[in-house]
């Protein structure tokens, strides 16, 4: 690959319509292939980024294709193609909540319960860790509810990627798992101490408390 085909994180972000931090997050998690110069600067293939950007614009990238496309070509679902910072709906004042959970029945339960609460919530859902991490970079949730046993990229890898990019400083994270709570808590603490690990069945009351805490904090600092 020639030097003319390489670009910086900033240029890749401009071509894909996301922020540089989002591009770096995807690179850290293995979604986008990148290289580092001897000075430690990250580089991407311009031709691969441009192909991916064209597929996003054309709506040719579908979630079911993500993992099979290979690391060089990336793989962003068309639902993630909107420009950074522009939500799909007019959600001013809503708490942005993202749920990454691979069981469709549980995702339906999350959506139904959140709707019945009557709280101002904008919900983003993904049943695949790979897709969820892609969409997280653009949705910028205030609260992430994360399962651990996920297809393609597991929850531990997602936490590690978020920690590497400093994104956990800007959001709340709750892990909800059917695995042994004590063992999971120790593994999560090794990645980032202080993350709350809750057992299934889904602890909706605790999740509601976290959402209400975000709403209360907004009132205090507004």
| Structure tokens given for 105 | 């029945």
| Per-residue pLDDT, 59 | 55
pLDDT in tens, 147-183: 999 988 899 999 999 998 888 988 999 999 999 999 9
Q: Which fold has domain 95-221?
A: Rossmann fold (3.40.50)
Pick the CATH number of 3-80 from 3.30.930.10, 1.10.1660.10, 1.10.3720.10, 3.90.1200.10: 1.10.1660.10
Which parts of the chain are beta strand (E)? 6-7, 35-36, 42-45, 95-100, 121-126, 143-146, 172-177, 196-199
- The two beta strands, 42-45 and 35-36, are antiparallel
Range with the poorest average pLDDT among 36-40, 68-72, 142-146, 216-220: 68-72
Per-residue pLDDT tens over the stretch 6-56: 888 888 888 877 778 878 877 777 677 788 888 888 888 888 788 767 766
> Binning pLDDT at 50, 70 and 90, where does residue 1 land?
low
Q: Is the pLDDT of residue 84 over 60?
A: no
Phi-psi region of 17 (alpha: psi -120 to 50; beta: other; left: phi over 0): left
* pLDDT at position 67: 32
Domain boundaries, the chain: 3-80, 95-221
**Stronger pLDDT, 90 or 75, i.e. the higher one:** 90
């Amino acid at each position: 690959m020639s030097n003319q085909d390489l670009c910086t994180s900033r240029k890749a972000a401009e071509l894909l319509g996301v922020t540089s931090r989002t591009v770096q997050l995807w690179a850290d998690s293995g979604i986008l292939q990148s290289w580092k110069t001897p000075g430690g600067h990250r580089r991407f293939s311009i031709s691969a980024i441009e192909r991916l950007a064209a597929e996003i614009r054309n709506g040719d990238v579908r979630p079911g294709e993500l993992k099979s496309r290979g690391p060089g070509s990336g793989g962003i679902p068309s639902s993630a193609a909107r420009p950074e910072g522009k939500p799909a709906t007019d959600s001013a004042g809503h708490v942005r909540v993202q749920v990454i959970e691979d069981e469709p029945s549980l995702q339906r339960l999350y959506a139904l319960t959140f709707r019945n609460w009557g709280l101002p919530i904008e919900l983003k859902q993904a049943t695949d860790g790979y897709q969820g991490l892609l969409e997280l970079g653009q949705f910028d949730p205030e609260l992430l509810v994360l399962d651990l046993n996920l297809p393609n990229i597991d929850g531990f890898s997602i936490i590690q990627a978020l920690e590497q990019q400093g994104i956990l400083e800007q959001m709340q994270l709750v892990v909800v798992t059917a695995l042994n709570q004590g063992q999971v808590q120790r593994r999560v603490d090794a990645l980032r101490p202080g993350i709350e690990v809750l057992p299934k069945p889904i602890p909706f009351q605790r999740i509601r408390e976290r959402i209400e805490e975000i709403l209360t904090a907004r009132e205090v600092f507004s």
